[in-house]
Structure 1
Amino acid sequence: MRPEGIRLLPWLIGAVDLVMIAVATALALRFRVTLPIFDTAVDVLENTGVASVFFGATWVVLLAFFGTYERHVFGAGTEEFKLVVNASFFTGALVATMAYLMQYPLSRGFFVLYFPIGVLLLLVGRLLSRRTIQRLRAAGHFTEKVLLVGTPGYIGEIHTVLNREKWLGYEVMGCLVPSDYAGLQVTSAGVPVLGLSEDVRSVVDEVSPDIVFFTAGAVSSSTALRRLAWDLEDHAHVQIIVAPNVTDVSSERVRIRPVAGLPLMHLGRSRSQLATNDAKRAFDLVGSLLILALTWPLLAFLMIWIKRHDGGPALFRQVRVGREGKEFTCLKLRSMSVDAESRLAELKARDHVLFKSAEDPRITKPGKLIRRFSLDELPQLWNVVRGEMSLVGPRPPLPTEVAQYEDDMLRRLNVMPGMTGLWQVSGRSDLSWEDTVRLDLYYVDNWSMVQDLLILARTVTAVLASRGAY
């Protein structure tokens, strides 16, 4: 049996949708009556109030029909939001058509207000629900038990991802390996081996997983995989997931096209060249000038405070490496003592500090505040205006770091470095070096303007929460 919380999840999401639709109905009625752009109609409340109950029920039914309550769409990906929008447009078209054919006196003002407000509120409700689900899953709730099938190497890769991204809600309970690895008790990644790949049916009967996850190397042929799927077809609650040997690729670059019975995966080209287009540059220029116009009083106050604190310069200038390996002077508000660079060697010898430290004694009193809320990076807006940086992009590296780059890491230099990026909204200084590189490479290969906007929105919450900021 699946966990009770998993079975209740669609019902809980449905309840949130009903609340949002009810709020949309109330707001649309309120605005229809009070806004001066609409004509006064005494029968608006009576006719529309009765019809809105039918509209709301139809909306929820179509949301279910379009698959927005399937458990696989919750918690990650953009499919859920696309399905909600598609179901909402279909509902609007259906309601308008039925009202016309039945000659029902539906207020056009109410209709114009109802569906846009409803779609917006539904998306907000789904987004809030997703954030709540992710936090609950990270805390160990609403999780699904996963049985991995494949070679130990690929199992280790998948296990690392699922263990790192706990918000996905996948709890690995064990794995099955090919007969070549018979006798293996535990993989190098620490996953217990529960049997062989061909024993999948008996193991599923024994441990009752929610998901059977076939990784690369799980079976010797597509025919064998099909037969294993046949063995599980009477386990209706068990999902089957097949993971191709492709990682860190966004859904926008992947297209599945069945050809002659083969589910071919078409992988789009890297989008690193698109991340340097004129539209992004225009967005960076307008955005940085707007932020500078709004924050210059704060920036001036901080510069005066830093200067008066110890008499040193307000700005800290440091050479960084930009796009295509070109060096530039990166500007920041000075958050450390004037002799910070000379004390670095002493600090390394004493504490073995290689990256930022939460207890760095060189940080000044003003520096503690500006670092906590990343205010020290405000002068980099001028770097953006000058075309040396972008609002969103990989972290600008030091020349000494670039000198140690391997070939894969050099791809970070295909785009302009950013004031913020996936590295910042994912934990900043709390991230390991490997995770920072992985996120930067993902950004370079899968750039999109929508992703930039989402990163900027997430940056606000990350800065306010001071996650990984020191």
Structure 2
Amino acid sequence: MKTLMIVDTLVVSGLIFAVQLNIGTLLQGVDVLIAFSAAMLWLLMLSMKGARQPQVLGVGSDEYKRVLEASILSAGLVAIATVISHGVIPYELVIFGILPGTVALLFTRWILRRILHIRARQGATLSRVVVIGGAPDVRYLVDQIKKKSASIFHVVAIVEDTGQGLVIGDIPVLHGIENLDHLIRVNGADAVMVAGSLHSGSDAVKNLSWELEKSDTELILASSLTNVAGPRIKMRPVEGLPLMHVEPPVFSGARMWAKRALDIGLSSCALVLLAPVFATIALTVRVDSKGPIVFRQRRVGKTGRDFVMFKFRTMSEDAEDRLEALQHENEGAGPLFKLKNDPRVTRVGRVLRKLSLDELPQIFNVLRGDMSLVGPRPPLRTEVECYENHTFRRLLIRPGLTGLWQVNGRSDLSWEDSVRLDLYYVENWSVVGDCIIMWHTLKAMIQPRGAY
């Protein structure tokens, strides 16, 4: 935390004072006061938005969202002050200070996160935890920590409180909550994480929190709302009773209009900027093999409406006719057909798929309103016919050119993981989250995984 505070202070103060020095003299007291006040305001907003809270560091997009929100709020307040002061507070502080400074802050957070992940592989993490709960809940929680939060939490021991057998790697497992104090001392744990409900009754968590006070150990409760992101959960204490409010997901209104405006703006710019790339790919596809340049396929969009999706053709012209003969070699998950070394893929097609360039024509789908830049993966009608009841929630919003499925492994994902990621996005999407996913998509194109 101290390192993060120092880095934030250096970035914020350095940029603000550099701008003020460029437009003023810094010899006058008012220049120093303005620069100092703007820097302190920005740092205060970062603290108020919780951009340095341990709970958001090292994993997920919440840390970046809070930095963005704090910086946008700071820029707005300084801009208002500029208008009120009739230019005494210079507008350059916003344009040349806070706006580029936001990019600098995000970049430094990204660098620090990389360092944290490297240290995690060497055994250093922010918190050593003991997990307590029933076998199924503990197994799921430990598995998710290993996948997504290994740089934050290191599970040093497990207390299985229902008496069931449980083996998870080489993590020591004891039975009975009476062993908890011993595990904390021996393993140097600084937190206890409760997975699900405890077998010992409704008062178990309360009694556990009192016991942990003696050793100054943090208590973390893992919510059973596994598909609900933090911003949708609000705590409201009523007469000593902590109530958890879960806000409904957003499928209409101003936020959805903002998402559509972002789609139109970015897709229009992309079509203009990428015109030479489109022309080059079209030429190589035409020269490489016979057949149309653009492959058209019917997909299922929002509310189950069919639309025609565009892609650069990456397979031979008779690919559909050869599909049945290859069904026995299917390596895809669930109802999906995937084959790593599909003989129908052309030479150019293999490169386009590796770099995800075959999907560029879908930008036209985004502009037309069939798709969004970010969303669930657009399914085939045959996939939708295999959906279970809850899976239909993928169709509540427009499918995406990219999404959580693309930045988390694509074809390497199991069917269950693919559905889980899509449903999580549908329930918890945000415009800021979309921008972060698009940034991760660019990285995934440079270092592709699961694309074939």
Tell me which interval the TM-score lies in, with the shorter structure as reference length: 0.7 to 0.9
Where 1:44 maps in the other structure, the secondary structure is coil
Pick closer, same or farther for the CA change 1:436–1:124 going to 2, 3 Å: same
Amino acid paired to 1:157: Y
Choose the corresponding residue for 1:327, options 282, 286, 306: 306
Alignment correspondent of 2:356: 374
Identity %: 35
Pick closer, same or farther for the CA change 1:212–1:50 going to 2, 3 Å: same
Q: CA deviation at 1:149?
A: 0.9
Following superposition of structure 1 onto structure 2, how do residues 110-125 of structure 1 map, counting pairs within 5 Å? 112=93, 116=98, 120=102, 121-125=104-108
Choose the corresponding residue for 1:240, options 219, 226, 234: 219
* TM-score normalised by the chain length of structure 1: 0.80
Q: CA deviation at 1:423?
A: 0.8
Following superposition of structure 1 onto structure 2, how do residues 266-345 of structure 1 map, counting pairs within 5 Å? 266-273=245-252, 277-345=256-324
Choose the corresponding residue for 1:72, options 38, 43, 55: 55
Q: Does 1:154 align with 2:141?
A: no
Where 2:364 maps in the other structure, the secondary structure is helix
Choose the corresponding residue for 1:208, options 177, 188, 206: 188
Q: CA deviation at 1:461?
A: 2.1
Q: Does 1:441 align with 2:423?
A: yes
Q: CA deviation at 1:269?
A: 1.1
Q: Which moved more, 1:18-27 or 1:396-405?
A: 18-27
Following superposition of structure 1 onto structure 2, how do residues 15-34 of structure 1 map, counting pairs within 5 Å? 15-25=6-16, 27-33=18-24
Following superposition of structure 1 onto structure 2, how do residues 412-427 of structure 1 map, counting pairs within 5 Å? 412-427=394-409
Name the CA distance, whole Å, in 1 between partners of 2:389 and 2:293. Answer: 37
Q: CA deviation at 1:444?
A: 1.0
Output one character per residue of 1:269-308: Cα deviation in whole Å (capped at 9) or x when no partner. Answer: 1224459944433432333232222222321222222112
Between structure 1 and structure 2, the one with the greater Rg is 1
Name the CA distance, whole Å, in 1 between partners of 2:374 and 2:99. Answer: 30
Name the CA distance, whole Å, in 2 between partners of 1:61 and 1:270. Answer: 31
Pick closer, same or farther for the CA change 1:190–1:256 going to 2, 3 Å: farther
Q: CA deviation at 1:249?
A: 0.8
Alignment correspondent of 2:84: none
Amino acid paired to 1:205: R
Q: CA deviation at 1:211?
A: 1.9
Alignment correspondent of 1:462: 444
**C-alpha contact (below 8 Å) 1:317/1:331 kept by paired residues:** yes
**C-alpha contact (below 8 Å) 1:137/1:166 kept by paired residues:** no
Q: CA deviation at 1:254?
A: 0.8
Choose the corresponding residue for 2:331, options 340, 353, 356: 353
Q: CA deviation at 1:335?
A: 0.9
Where 2:186 maps in the other structure, the secondary structure is helix
Q: Does 1:129 align with 2:112?
A: yes
Alignment correspondent of 2:367: 385
Name the CA distance, whole Å, in 2 between partners of 1:64 and 1:385. Answer: 35
Q: CA deviation at 1:250?
A: 1.6
Q: Which moved more, 1:147-156 or 1:211-220?
A: 211-220
Q: CA deviation at 1:333?
A: 0.4
Q: Which moved more, 1:224-233 or 1:439-448?
A: 224-233
Pick closer, same or farther for the CA change 1:352–1:119 going to 2, 3 Å: closer
**C-alpha contact (below 8 Å) 1:185/1:193 kept by paired residues:** no
Name the CA distance, whole Å, in 1 between partners of 2:355 and 2:408. Answer: 15
**C-alpha contact (below 8 Å) 1:425/1:462 kept by paired residues:** yes
**C-alpha contact (below 8 Å) 2:354/2:451 kept by paired residues:** yes
Name the CA distance, whole Å, in 2 between partners of 1:65 and 1:318. Answer: 49
Pick closer, same or farther for the CA change 1:381–1:62 going to 2, 3 Å: closer
Q: Which moved more, 1:18-27 or 1:283-292?
A: 18-27
Pick closer, same or farther for the CA change 1:400–1:291 going to 2, 3 Å: same
Amino acid paired to 1:306: V
Name the CA distance, whole Å, in 2 between partners of 1:73 and 1:144. Answer: 13
Name the CA distance, whole Å, in 2 between partners of 1:264 and 1:186. Answer: 32
**C-alpha contact (below 8 Å) 2:16/2:39 kept by paired residues:** no
Name the CA distance, whole Å, in 1 between partners of 2:381 and 2:201. Answer: 48
Where 1:175 maps in the other structure, the secondary structure is strand
Q: CA deviation at 1:12?
A: 2.7
Name the CA distance, whole Å, in 1 between partners of 2:70 and 2:395. Answer: 38
Amino acid paired to 1:16: V
Q: CA deviation at 1:358?
A: 3.8
Q: Does 1:398 align with 2:394?
A: no
Where 2:203 maps in the other structure, the secondary structure is helix
Q: CA deviation at 1:328?
A: 2.2
Q: CA deviation at 1:463?
A: 1.6
Choose the corresponding residue for 2:155, options 162, 167, 172: 172
Q: CA deviation at 1:268?
A: 0.9
| Superposition RMSD in Å | 3.8
Where 2:213 maps in the other structure, the secondary structure is coil
Q: Does 1:44 align with 2:26?
A: yes
Name the CA distance, whole Å, in 1 between partners of 2:408 and 2:230. Answer: 19
Pick closer, same or farther for the CA change 1:226–1:22 going to 2, 3 Å: same
Amino acid paired to 1:160: D
**C-alpha contact (below 8 Å) 1:336/1:362 kept by paired residues:** yes
Pick closer, same or farther for the CA change 1:132–1:205 going to 2, 3 Å: closer
Where 2:22 maps in the other structure, the secondary structure is helix
Output one character per residue of 1:13-33: Cα deviation in whole Å (capped at 9) or x when no partner. Answer: 234224314531553145315
Pick closer, same or farther for the CA change 1:287–1:14 going to 2, 3 Å: closer
Output one character per residue of 1:117-171: Cα deviation in whole Å (capped at 9) or x when no partner. Answer: 6862444433432344345436654253221111112112212211221455322
Output one character per residue of 1:335-373: Cα deviation in whole Å (capped at 9) or x when no partner. Answer: 122232333344443x44334344333322221222222
**C-alpha contact (below 8 Å) 2:296/2:309 kept by paired residues:** yes
Name the CA distance, whole Å, in 1 between partners of 2:247 and 2:215. Answer: 35
Alignment correspondent of 1:193: 173
